[in-house]
Amino acid sequence: MTAAPTDTREPLLQVRNLKKYFPIKKGILNRTVGSVKAVDGVSFDIFPNETVGLVGESGCGKTTAGRSLLRLIEPSDGEIIYQGRNLVDLNTKEMRKVRRKLQIIFQDPYSSLNPRMTVEDIIGEAIEFHGVAKGDEVRSMVESLLERVGLQPSYVMRYPHEFSGGQRQRIGIARALALNPDFIVCDEAVSALDVSVQAQVINLLLDLQDEFNLSYLFIAHDLSVVRHISDRIAVMYLGQVMELADCDTLFGRAFHPYTQALLSAIPLPNPRRKAHRVILKGDVPSPMNPPSGCRFHTRCPSCYEPCRTIQPTSVEVEPGHFVACHLYDPEHTTKDSSTWKSLPDLQWIAKGGAPANLPPAVQRVIEELTGTPPPETDGDRGVPEEDATPEEEDATPDEEDATPEEEDATPDEEDATPDEEDATPEEEETPDLDESDEELDLEASSDMEETEKS
């Protein structure tokens, strides 16, 4: 999953087929008996001044991917191209020089700062080590960095325990900035902070990005936070990237069943609105022995024949939007309507059939099933034009998802009570997907439990 072929920008970093297998050793002889496939063939590009969000369930390999691409842990395979060189091929001395430009901010501001060192030592260490400044110059550099991240320059002689969590994270950011980097991995950089402090730190990161032309790989659990900061988002599952798209596309029209399930879990800000939350059954399988074929097949509601045996390849379903799912692969897609109906979210079909940019073979399948020709979007990645009435543009997320009947609602209907809005799926008429005139089931399939939240 890389950049769109139409994208003419020069990437800052190109990650190709990155793998990290941790060996499992056992016995007195410490024999390798297996491996944890923490990252298993991840590819993406990061452009200058861009933030790529990396999301996925705990243990899916986000941290390992972030650290491997800085070579803080040695990748097992793959390429990391930076300034025309493959970082994996660099020796220790060469890597040390490059590392100045590639930094990391850690999740836990309490454990990532040495409690026995002053702020001056923590931030100044790298400045001195890399010969950027010496003596008094280091102190004044540290002071100006502290000021830049919103801390008092006079704090230079303080120790980490004298700061709050948010302030410590600012020290971590100052440390990462000290060597004037191009790229920073922010590994759950705001996850340990409370919401108001999170917002301050994110705004600081955004300001610094503009000021220093930085690129970020922003690793986080919280999709709302990732949405706020990212230009593009990669969704990981069990060591692999399942979907990659720009932020608006991913939130507006996610195709992968896993992404759709993750998005359904985001709480809605309006308590009167119902959320169709899809809870995936079962645990994430072990990365020691990942499922064959599609790694998500053991939990996917749309799993069908090729999924158990053939690993999906990443398909660029529309410019810059990559999905690793057989449904969107012209070679393996299916005309079986029940498989399509099992997708957690079919609103994008309900809104007007297949997006015009889907691969033609997949488009034909959806057209055949829905009887709807694709809307003319002339390459636009947004919602099909015909959907964008002024009312809808102002609509809340749920209103945007309204069925045709709801869109034609009279003012009275629009002012419906919560009960009316909580219409059961049967009450919502949607376009037919099946030739047999069955109603499109926009809810989760029987393979998934669904809870409704007010």
Ligand X SMILES: Nc1ncnc2c1ncn2[C@@H]1O[C@H](COP(=O)(O)OP(=O)(O)OP(=O)(O)O)[C@@H](O)[C@H]1O
Chain contacts with Mg ion (rule: CB under 5 A): 63
Q: What is the CA radius of gyration of the chain?
A: 24
Q: Which of ligand X, ligand SF4, Mg ion, none does residue 341 bind (CB under 5 to 8 Å by kind)?
A: none
Q: Which of 320, 423, 330 is nearest to 380 (CA)?
A: 320
Q: In one letter, which amino acid is 401? A: D
Task: State which residue, 327 or 358, has the beta carbon closest to ligand SF4.
Answer: 327
Q: What is the DSSP letter of 60?
A: S
- Token pair for 371: 């009887």
Of all residues in the shown chain, the one whose CB is closest to Mg ion is 63
Measure the CA–CA gap between 228 and 199, rounded to whole angstroms: 10
Query: DSSP secondary structure string, 31-51?
Result: EEEEEEEEEEEEEEEE-TT-E
* 244 phi and psi angles, rounded to 5 deg: -140, 130
Task: State which residue, 183 or 237, has the beta carbon closest to ligand SF4.
Answer: 237
CB of 233 to ligand X, least distance (A): 15
Q: Which of 49, 84, 46 is nearest to 65 (CA)?
A: 46
Q: Which of Mg ion, ligand SF4, ligand X, none does residue 381 bind (CB under 5 to 8 Å by kind)?
A: none
Task: State which residue, 67 or 299, has the beta carbon closest to Mg ion.
Answer: 67
Q: In one letter, which amino acid is 325? A: C
| 112 counts as binding ligand X under rule CB under 6 A | no
Task: State which residue, 84 or 282, has the beta carbon closest to ligand X.
Answer: 282
Q: What is the DSSP letter of 284?
A: P
Angle CA 208–164–62, to nearest 5: 60
Task: State which residue, 109 or 257, has the beta carbon closest to ligand SF4.
Answer: 257
* 264 phi and psi angles, rounded to 5 deg: -65, -20
Q: Which of ligand SF4, Mg ion, ligand X, none does residue 294 bind (CB under 5 to 8 Å by kind)?
A: ligand SF4
Burial annotation 241-268 (CB, 10 A radius, 16+ → b, else e): bbbbbbbebbbbbbbbbbbbbbbbeeeb
| 63 counts as binding ligand X under rule CB under 6 A | yes
Question: Restricting to residues 312-371, which ones interact with ligand X according to CB under 6 A?
Answer: none
Contact track, ligand X, 221-260, x by CB under 6 A: x---------------------------------------
Region of 53-61, 114-122, 152-160, 385-393 interacting with ligand X (CB under 6 A): 53-61
Looking from the CA of 394 toward its CB, the CA atoms found within 13 Å total 2
CB of 65 to Mg ion, least distance (A): 9
Measure the CA–CA gap between 15 and 245, rounded to whole angstroms: 16
| List of residues 6+ apart from 45 with CB closer than 8 A | 2, 3, 11, 13, 14, 15
Residue from the set 60, 346, 402, 448 that interacts with ligand X by CB under 6 A: 60
Task: State which residue, 73 or 395, has the beta carbon closest to ligand X.
Answer: 73
CB of 269 to ligand X, least distance (A): 25
CB of 83 to ligand X, least distance (A): 26
| 58 counts as binding ligand X under rule CB under 6 A | yes
Residues in the chain: 454
Task: State which residue, 47 or 110, has the beta carbon closest to ligand X.
Answer: 110
Measure the CA–CA gap between 400 and 388, rounded to whole angstroms: 9
CB of 101 to ligand X, least distance (A): 23
Task: State which residue, 173 or 250, has the beta carbon closest to ligand SF4.
Answer: 250
Farthest CA pair distance, the chain: 80
Binding site for ligand SF4 (CB under 6 A): 257, 294, 296-297, 300, 302-303, 307, 312, 325-327
| 61 counts as binding ligand X under rule CB under 6 A | yes
Residues that bind ligand X (CB under 6 A): 22, 36, 38, 56, 58-64, 221, 287
